[in-house]
Chains A and B, each alone.
Chain A
Amino acid sequence: DTGVSQDPRHKITKRGQNVTFRCDPISEHNRLYWYRQTLGQGPEFLTYFQNEAQLEKSRLLSDRFSAERPKGSFSTLEIQRTEQGDSAMYLCASSLDRVSETQYFGPGTRLLVL
């Protein structure tokens, strides 16, 4: 399978704990995106990378959130001191660097903070 993969698919944690999610993009894609989706809403942009450089971060990305893409391949999204409001689906997507280029999404990681 050469699609975007995400791990884990589901995560249940207690408030105050740290969690880390991983995304493996399509291998030749130099752009990688993170989105968050809550129930009944469309995905909301969090941040994106071109190769290893983080080029844009949304105001939704508080100081408790950090994302990395150290070698321009896989990426991690860490949430520190989780809050119940962080409960959501976290989606990763990848693409080539063209305006018309489509983004390919992974299946998402569903986070539940108790």
Chain B
Amino acid sequence: DAKTTQPNSMESNEEEPVHLPCNHSTISGTDYIHWYRQLPSQGPEYVIHGLTSNVNNRMASLAIAEDRKSSTLILHRATLRDAAVYYCILKTSASKLTFGTGTRLQVTL
């Protein structure tokens, strides 16, 4: 699977929007962009995924660059419960996820 690059950590104030970036310059045409997050002491949790178009769901929005070499996960109003490690993953086949080290998001009052 192609590699992704994310900042190690980010901070946000509660109730403010958070933009989590991900670079994937070697993405192929068939790679889906998936985001998962992992809260402390829990298994990873699916957040959102997309292929070419921007996507919205109840948890977040995914903005995909026109050339698909980068994407941004947007949490519209961060809460303390959003403090987690966020993983950006490229997925070609219906098999394994290849996790990096992700971005640790801290949310403060």
Assembled-state Cα–Cα distance A23/B90 (Å): 25
Say yes or no: is B49 at the interface (Cβ < 8 Å to chain A). Answer: yes
Assembled-state Cα–Cα distance A95/B9 (Å): 29
Contact residues in A for B43 (Cβ distance below 8 Å): 4, 91, 93, 105-108
A91-B44 in contact given A99-B91, A102-B49 (Cβ < 8 Å): yes
Task: Tell me how far the C-beta of B79 lies from the nearest C-beta in chain A, rounded to whole angstroms.
Answer: 21
A99-B94 in contact given A91-B43, A93-B43, A104-B46 (Cβ < 8 Å): yes
Assess whether B32 is in contact with A103, with CB atoms less than 8 Å apart.
no
Say yes or no: is B2 at the interface (Cβ < 8 Å to chain A). Answer: no
Contact residues in A for B96 (Cβ distance below 8 Å): 33, 45, 48, 56
Assess whether A48 is in contact with B95, with CB atoms less than 8 Å apart.
yes
Task: Tell me how far the C-beta of A5 lies from the nearest C-beta in chain B, rounded to whole angstroms.
Answer: 11
A-B pairs with beta carbons under 8 A, tally: 61
Assess whether A102 is in contact with B34, with CB atoms less than 8 Å apart.
yes
Assembled-state Cα–Cα distance A40/B40 (Å): 11
Q: Of B42, B46, B92, B101, which is within 8 A of A103 by CB?
A: B46
Assembled-state Cα–Cα distance A108/B51 (Å): 29
Task: Tell me how far the C-beta of A25 lies from the nearest C-beta in chain B, rounded to whole angstroms.
Answer: 13
Q: Which residues of A79-114 have CB atoms within 8 Å of chain B's CB atoms?
A: 91, 93, 95, 97-108
Say yes or no: is B100 at the interface (Cβ < 8 Å to chain A). Answer: yes
Assess whether B97 is in contact with A103, with CB atoms less than 8 Å apart.
yes
Residues of B bordering A, CB below 8 Å: 30, 32, 34, 42-46, 49, 51, 85, 87, 91-102
24 of the cross-chain contacts (CB-CB < 8 Å) are A4-B43, A42-B87, A42-B99, A42-B101, A45-B98, A48-B95, A55-B95, A56-B95, A91-B43, A93-B44, A93-B97, A99-B91, A100-B49, A100-B51, A100-B91, A102-B34, A102-B46, A103-B44, A103-B97, A104-B46, A105-B43, A105-B44, A108-B42, A108-B43
